[in-house]
Structure 1
Amino acid sequence: MNPAEDYIYKAPEPFNHIMMDLHVFISSNFPDAVLKYKWSLPFYYLKGNIMFCYINFRKKYVDLGLAYGSELSNKHNKLVAGEGRKRMRSLRYFSMDDMDNKVLLETLIELQNLRLNR
């Protein structure tokens, strides 16, 4: 197992379940996204070196960080800036019930198009 997968699987409950679902979702829907371990976090990259998103757990939630998320439309009003971030936005999951696959897929497709067409 690589360090990125290790981070996901060894996270405390209930975060590891949320992160595993996100990992499976991203891997299934974006098969070209490559999982790497960068800045001590699981990061997904497009075309080898284009930052896409990362998974992190905090004290109370899982953070799906979106590179250049500030440029997304936020049509579902779910993106969070937080912590003085200028470009990064995230989708936050406090429990499995917070996961909305439609919002997740539409957000990641928009992000993929943004990142690949820069």
Structure 2
Amino acid sequence: MKELDHYFMQQEEPVRGCLLALREVILSANDSITPAWKWRLPFFYYKKKMLCYLSFHKKHKKPYLAIVEGRQIDHPALLAENRTRMKIMLIDPNEDLPMETIQAILQQALALY
């Protein structure tokens, strides 16, 4: 987990705090969610299946939550862009996390499994 921890610590504030808070929200969504390091990003698995990951959008200059099976979820906060499988939710690190929206999306994603 050293690389995973390093990923969070190398981010500047307020992005670091935002990503760390998102990590906690994701992990608290279900006891079967586990963190991992994949594709040089913090990844989260649900019962050994890819659920979501955290990253930073270079164009929008914001962190985002990517849902692996996002194409199967219809939610206005999710963007597909040019992705064929995943959808992302941009997060403003200078605002409070939209907890209800994040939790609703995570529950929809978990229901797919």
The residue aligned with 1:4 is 4
Q: Write the distance in 1 (CA, Å) between the matches of 2:28 and 2:2.
A: 18
- Residue by residue over 1:68-89, the C-alpha shift from the partner in whole angstroms, topping out at 9 and shown as x without a partner, is 1011021xx110112x101110
Quote the residue 1:55 is aligned against: 54
2:72 is matched with 71
- TM-score normalised over the length of structure 1: 0.86
> Which blocks of at least 5 consecutive residues in structure 1 are unaligned?
none
Maintained 8 Å contact 1:66/1:88: yes
How far, CA to CA, are the matches of 1:87 and 1:21 in structure 2?
A: 25
- Aligned partner of 1:109 in structure 2 is 107
Alpha-carbon separation, structure 1, partners of 2:8 and 2:32: 19
Aligned residue for 1:45?
Answer: 45
The percent identity for this pair of structures is 27
CA contact (8 A) 2:4 2:41 kept: yes
Q: Secondary structure at the match of 2:80?
A: coil
- List structure 1 segments (4+ residues) > 6 angstroms apart after TM superposition: none
Residue 20 of structure 1 is matched in structure 2 by 20
TM-score normalised to the size of structure 2?
Answer: 0.89
Q: CA RMSD in A?
A: 1.5
Aligned residue type for 1:35: P
